[in-house]
Amino acid sequence: MSEQEQKETFFEFPCQFPIKIMANPQKETVEFVLGVFEKYVPNHDKIDFKTKESKTGKYISITAIFEANSKEQLDNIYKEISAYPEVHMVL
């Protein structure tokens, strides 16, 4: 990582990184999110991936904890998941 990249982020890569997604509870949404992680995370089989439906069943939360390798990787994941119409929030 270059000195400039280190100044742009608070993280030291590689690091364990959690992403939480709030979305409509559809199977296709979960499959889409999994596909994004498969695309950007080389060791996607090692992702700690959990889903939980809200009490009312109106939403689903998806949590993924994985080894992040760069700010660019995180930006790509956030952008692609955030653009999906069934996703309400990505943290």
End-to-end CA distance of the chain: 24
Is the predicted pLDDT of residue 1 greater than 60, yes or no? no
* Strands, sheet with 48-53, edge to edge from the N-terminal-most edge strand: 48-53, 60-68, 15-23, 87-90
Percent of the chain with pLDDT over 90: 85
The model's pLDDT over 57-89, given as tens digits with 9 standing for 90+, comes to 999 999 999 999 999 999 999 999 999 999 999
Single pTM value for the model: 0.88
Provide the mean pLDDT of the chain: 93
Bridge partners (DSSP) of residue 48 are 65
Domain 17-90, what fold? Answer: Alpha-Beta Plaits (3.30.70)
Q: Which residues, in sequence order, are CB contacts of 5 under 8 Å at separation 6+?
A: 70, 71
Is the predicted pLDDT of residue 30 greater than 60, yes or no? yes
Q: Which residues, in sequence order, are CB contacts of 86 under 8 Å at separation 6+?
A: 23, 24, 26, 28, 29, 32
The model's pLDDT over 31-65, given as tens digits with 9 standing for 90+, comes to 999 999 999 999 989 999 999 999 999 999 999 99
